Amino acid sequence: MSQSAEDADVIVIGGGAAGLMCALTAGQRGRRVRVIEHANRVGKKILMSGGGRCNFTNTGTTAANFLSANPHYCKSALARFRPAQFIEMVERHGIAYHEKELGQLFCDESAKWIVRMLPDECEAAEVRIDTSCRVDGVDRSDGGFVVRTALGSMSARAVVVATGGLSIPSMGASGFGFELARQFGHSVLPTRAGLVPLTLSGKHQERFEGLSGVALPVSAQCNGQRFDNYLLITHRGVSGPAILQISSYWQPGDDLRLDLLPQTNAFDALKGLQAQRPAAELRTALAELLPKRFAERLCEVWFESRPIKQFNDPALRTIAAQLQDWPLVASGTEGYRTAEVTLGGVDTDELSSTTMQSKRVPGLYFIGEVVDVTGWLGGYNFQWAWASGVAAGEAV
């Protein structure tokens, strides 16, 4: 079916996860839908997600896995489009997948199968997708909107803003959705990089010099949140799932603590090692509990390495307490260049939680990452993109 430039019911700005899901849902309902994507292909971020295998959902998704000024906002959409419904689509397309950990589902082979599935569904629903098409602006018109694009002006009854966040500008990220929201009188809550490596500087960085690549399980805690997973030392600071997760709860100056021996009573472990190998140096004993290079560095910078039998109980207790409540003094984050998500965004107070429609401007919708809803690491962000996309797709 050919569409003239003016006859779409719905124009979706942004052909990412949320936009494509919204478009195919609306198309299946018989709506004439046009997706406008400024990159040269749709779904670029999906392609690079999950290390190229796309962690496309998390079977344990609940509202508790998201950050938002209004923690209740995401509940309705998440309840109406569940991980099982996306899995059903994945299975219908014969895409093999597996559970990695904690309900995280990944493609067996490649994220490209998800990137192929969504436009295939769009095509079946007669959705028109224009790539390499810049959107210059959106204006209201009688009964709808005029979207000004590089291909000319297009009019539609409804406009869905699915332009994502600011992370990874090289993948097409833009602040366009936030500008559009402000233009139509919406508040945009301050944005910052989330799920992002932290940087260290000065003596805090020097103390970790040469340890890049060392990984260890930790429990990272900040502002009442706690994540148990791996920390990875990098050239610039620290990364790894535990750090990415806690980064979304951390801001410069906040107290961030690491338990370097999670699920272990460090004092009992040190006492045990003292009993087994009393003549061993502390650095050797610690290397039984921590990566060797890391244990050695601890004893070069923080602890005095003597035979462990020379430490009395109070001294061992002090070391144990430090290991289990280690202050990590980060100077900042690596920023949007490497962040997986953008925190903040379009204020949910001015959006309907059932349809994602603007309460200010009928016919205008905001979905996905552009909205102030940000998930943890582990497939939650895509589940929000699918669920919010479906909520709007069913309403437009």
Q: Which residues bind ligand FAD (CB under 6 A)?
A: 13-19, 36-39, 44-45, 48-50, 54-55, 135, 162-164, 167-168, 172, 174, 176, 340-341, 368-369, 379-382, 385
CB of 325 to ligand FAD, least distance (A): 31
CA end-to-end distance (rounded Å), the chain: 20
Q: Which C-beta is closer to ligand FAD: that of 284 or that of 383?
A: 383
Q: Which C-beta is closer to ligand FAD: that of 162 or that of 308?
A: 162
Q: Which C-beta is closer to ligand FAD: that of 45 or that of 186?
A: 45
Nearest-angstrom CA–CA distance, 146 and 304? 70
Q: Which residue, among 52, 66, 39, has the nearest Cα to 225 in the 3D structure?
A: 66
CB of 52 to ligand FAD, least distance (A): 9
Q: Which residue, among 124, 137, 175, has the nearest Cα to 20 in the 3D structure?
A: 124
CB of 370 to ligand FAD, least distance (A): 6
Q: Render the burial of 259-292: b for 16+ CB within 10 Å, e for the rest.
A: bbbbeeebbebbbebbeeeeebbbbbbbbebbbe
Q: Which C-beta is closer to ligand FAD: that of 66 or that of 250?
A: 66
Q: Which C-beta is closer to ligand FAD: that of 126 or that of 334?
A: 334
Nearest-angstrom CA–CA distance, 12 and 168? 21
CB of 154 to ligand FAD, least distance (A): 12
CB of 53 to ligand FAD, least distance (A): 8
Placement of tokens 């202050």 in the chain: 327
Q: Which C-beta is closer to ligand FAD: that of 23 or that of 289?
A: 23
| Residue with smallest beta-carbon separation from ligand FAD | 16
Nearest-angstrom CA–CA distance, 119 and 385? 15
Torsion of CA 170, 171, 177, 179, to 10 degrees: 10
CB of 281 to ligand FAD, least distance (A): 42
Residues linked to residue 105 through DSSP beta bridges, in sequence order: 57, 99
